[in-house]
Structure 1
Amino acid sequence: MADFVLRMPDVGEGVAEAEIVEWHVKPGDVVREDTVLAAVMTDKATVEIPSPVAGTVTWLAGEIGDSIAVKAPLVRIALEGEAVEPQTAAAPAEAKQAGPLVEPPPVAVAKPASVEKPVASRAEPEPAAKPLASPAVRRRAQEAGIDLRQLRGTGPAGRIIHEDLDLFLSQGAPSTAPAAGLARKTHVEAVKVTGLRRRIADKMALSVSRIPHITYVEEVDVTDLEELRAAMNRERKPDQPKLTVLPFLMRALVRTIAEQPALNATFDDAAGIVSRYSAVHIGIATQTPAGLTVPVVRHAEARGIWDCATELARVAEAARTGSAQRDELSGSTITISSLGALGGIASTPLINHPEVAIIGVNKIVMRPVWDGSQFVPRRMMNLSSSFDHRIIDGWDAATFIQRIKALLETPALIFIDT
């Protein structure tokens, strides 16, 4: 029988393995050339793998969530016209020569939580089941505030008898019964962490374990900025996106980084080298249906307000739809994290390793502010920012944020050429 073994392709420079995030076929499926077999992920970029041949799938390398090494067997296909014997676990001979295959682990399924050995008088019956009991037992249970569905009857046909009530009460029964229609729930769903969610988990664990964070929170009066933003939005051209606060913050970052280049950097702690960049590539933490991603606006130093807004909208939409390319999801030198209207009054953002700083944007709220003679309503927004304390001292972090604050509070300064 002529077989074809498709091996994991090299899906990116420097990538040693990729995680299976979706199977589009199963053993026994007939495929044609270019039929998509699987989707794999690496560095938050998802790549679809098509079949180069026509035939019948007989073997898959693993389950969703498994990581497969580059050049390791991924799919075995019996070529069209050949006899087919589907396999789900046995490795093909060609694969064994190239190295061990990843055996499929048990599929993660929802399962009930483990419980202690049940006591004879207690039960977890189905919510709709009506327990068997005499009127006298029912009346006594009602007076004691006991839900009979919590008991297992020891009488004929499972009927609950007075002795069952006695034993239940002696074991510390609740004093009141649950409301009608309510029942205890013991189901536990086991969800395997795979794909983007596992990448996020690994990234967050790396950030916390490797970087000693210092977080600095400062309030910013954005009343004038909001008035300017509203005026610019009223005058925008049809092909220009609606301005948010972020493009202004991006331009403020560019101006501040020119004065403090140490903040626009990455730290290779293994090699002991800090790399400071003249280019300002701003990562924008973006929530997507699949989870948090960080698309990158490259060369913000060469972009004006409208250009920043346009590129920000483009890469964020690409991230949300899953169409972002690999280079659009990597290479940032500093990151902005914004929760928009849900931003709360303060946060403790985690640094996007191996960067040394992240700027967190909280929501804008109207607050009374003392102007020296009276309280006046002002639009206020907090910046909650974190820094790698190995590289950035607290004084430098505070100076950095204070400069951004000054630019945002007097937004005309953002547009002055230096």
Structure 2
Amino acid sequence: MAQVLEFKLPDLGEGLTEAEIVRWLVEVGDVVAIDQPVVEVETAKAMVEVPCPYGGVVTARFGDEGAELPVGAPLLTVAVGSPVESAGGGADADSGTDSGSGNVLVGYGTGAPPVRRRRVRPEGLKAAVAVSVAPVEAAAPAPTPEPAPALGPVAVVSPLVRRLARQHDLDLRRLAGSGPDGLILRADVESAIRSAAEAPVPEPAASSSPAGERVALRGVRGAVADKLSRSRREIPDATCWVDADATELMAVRAAMNGAAGAGAPKVSVLALLARICTAALARYPELNSTVDQEAREIVRLPQVHLGFAAQTDRGLVVPVVRDAHARTTESIGAEIARLTEAARTGALTPAELTGGTFTLNNYGVFGVDGSTPIINHPEAAMLGVGRIVPKPWVHEGELAVRQVVQLSLTFDHRVCDGGTAGGFLRYVADCVEQPALLLRSV
């Protein structure tokens, strides 16, 4: 007799409490193996493929693509046990006899080889799940009740959802949540908001909401919005900037790439600037720190975990190069290339997006000269780099056309004063203008 086991959305780490279903990787009737990815979800940190700890036949899925689920909510049910083998047959169904790995994240599994998805015939599926319990069906959103609201607290998945309802004058007591035990999810609130917006407005009354397209701040964009807002609230930031002659830096880059030979990875400008940043942070460690507001202490960090801003279709993300202070320029460049490709495909893990101590932002790729970067909370500084363009420049006492770049440093004024920030920025500019200076610091 098969046993139907329920797999719930696991804790994905980093304090995340919910995730949005992006794409189902299995359908009802598919045979799955232990640790086989069954759904792709998006959290506020990254895209994650969630593996199932059971092997057997999928009997139900919970939630449509685009729905948000809290941690602990049912994801799917799987019929496990010997009937799975008889229903599917063959080696592909052998894993159905296992009790499950208990693993929840890709990369932390038992190493069992993945199996190809295979649909079980309806009659085979029926035999496989002929258990002594009622069939499990996917949960459907409950209709919105109309009776007068009851008094008392309302179970809501997060304070952000409660705030969203308050901003739209939505009475949560009139909603029936689609989450476990009637928990009100963000999708429930957004659905009610849309329904209210689509309802006809009697004349002469007019809608109090501003006209225009509304884009929900959720997932990565929502996380970025919250982090930037927190940075502006908590960090007394200041910005200084300087123009630098990058002609010699570009010549050094060309020489390095020429010496590497055909087919070798090219050294990027970003990698060179990252290496300069690690040298500058060694001289000015105040900027590689964070502030413990409750303890009223500055915490200077021993390692440099260098973040770099990357624009993707899902929004701005900041992958982190671990231990950048211990890497060569080539090593930093290779890691930046790997993380950039992972960002482009949405494959960055939460661990690759957290833990940074200093951020490098090359907004010059957008064709702009300068900016005032917002610090990536809870870090203490960010270096912004504009485009490198030919400009008139006084070189060795004469006017010449040189490759010029604007460098901007935004820093937390609690960790240092302007003299330290100016010293850091001047050292970076000096290394850009005379890359040989960097050799004296290694």
> TM-score normalized by structure 1?
0.71
CA distance in 1, matches of 2:283, 2:368: 30
Rounded Cα–Cα distance in structure 2 between residues aligned with 1:36 and 1:256: 43
Is the 2:48–2:349 contact (alpha carbons within 8 Å) kept by the matching residues of 1? no
Does the aligned pair in 2 maintain the 1:216–1:385 contact within 8 Å?
yes
Q: Does 1:243 align with 2:242?
A: no
Cα distance, 1:88–1:277 mapped onto 2, change above 3 Å:
same
Letter in 2 for 1:20: E
Give 1:17's aligned residue. Answer: 17
Partner Cα distance (1:116, 1:384) in 2: 53
Match of 1:88 in 2: 140
Q: How many residues are paired up?
A: 344
Aligned-partner Cα distance in 1 for 2:428–2:200: 54
Change (3 A) 1:330 1:408: same
1:317 to 317, 333, 341: 341
Closer, same or farther in 2 for the Cα pair 1:102/1:7, shift >3 Å? Answer: farther
Share of identical aligned residues, percent?
33
| Counterpart residue number, 1:367 | 391
Relative distance call for 1:58 and 1:407 in structure 2 (3 A) is closer
What is the identity, as a one-letter code, of the residue corresponding to 2:290? Answer: T
In 2: Cα distance, 1:202 partner to 1:392 partner? 25
Confirm or deny: 8 A CA contact 1:68 1:74 kept in the other structure: no
Report the CA distance shift for 1:240/1:276 in structure 2 as closer, same or farther (over 3 A).
Answer: farther
What's the offset of the Cα at 1:371?
4.2
Aligned partner of 1:40 in structure 2 is 41
Do the aligned partners of residues 284 and 405 (structure 1) sit closer, same or farther apart at CA in structure 2, a change above 3 Å counting? same
**Offset at 1:335?**
0.5
Find the counterpart in structure 1 of residue 60 from structure 2.
57
Cα 1:393–1:75 shift into 2, 3 Å = same
Gaps of 5+ in 1: 91-95, 120-185
Q: Retained in 1: the 8 A contact 2:319–2:352?
A: yes
Aligned residue for 2:422? 398
Deviations 1:221-264 (Å, cap 9, x if unpaired)? 11111112112222223453222222222222222222211111
The residue type paired with residue 248 of structure 1 is L
Contact 1:58 1:88 in 2 (8 A): no
CA contact (8 A) 2:44 2:222 kept: no
Alignment of 1:166-205 (within 5 A): 188-205=212-229
Deviation per residue, 1:377-411 (Å, 9 max, x gap): 11110011210112221221111101111111111
1:376 maps to what in 2?
A: 400
CA contact (8 A) 1:15 1:42 kept: no
Say whether the 8 Å CA contact 1:266–1:275 is kept in structure 2: yes
Report what 1:268 is aligned to.
292
Rounded Cα–Cα distance in structure 2 between residues aligned with 1:65 and 1:400 = 46
Note the C-alpha offset of 1:204.
1.4
Q: 1:230 and 1:290, CA in 2 relative to 1: closer, same or farther beyond 3 A?
A: same
Report which of the two structures shows the higher radius of gyration computed on alpha carbons.
Answer: 1
Structure 2 counterpart of 1:232, from 231, 235, 256: 256
Q: Is the 8 A contact 1:58 1:78 kept in 2?
A: no
Aligned runs of 1:59-208 on 2, under 5 Å?
Answer: 59-60=62-63, 64=66, 66=68, 68-69=70-71, 72-75=72-75, 77=77, 79=79, 80-81=129-130, 83=135, 85-89=137-141, 101-103=183-185, 104-105=187-188, 106-107=190-191, 117=203, 188-208=212-232
CA distance in structure 2 between the aligned counterparts of 1:24 and 1:326, rounded to whole angstroms: 20
In 2, distance between residues paired with 1:66 and 1:283? 29
Contact 2:28 2:60 in 1 (8 A): yes
More off after superposition, 322-331 vs 351-360:
322-331
Question: Match for 2:356: what amino acid?
Answer: S
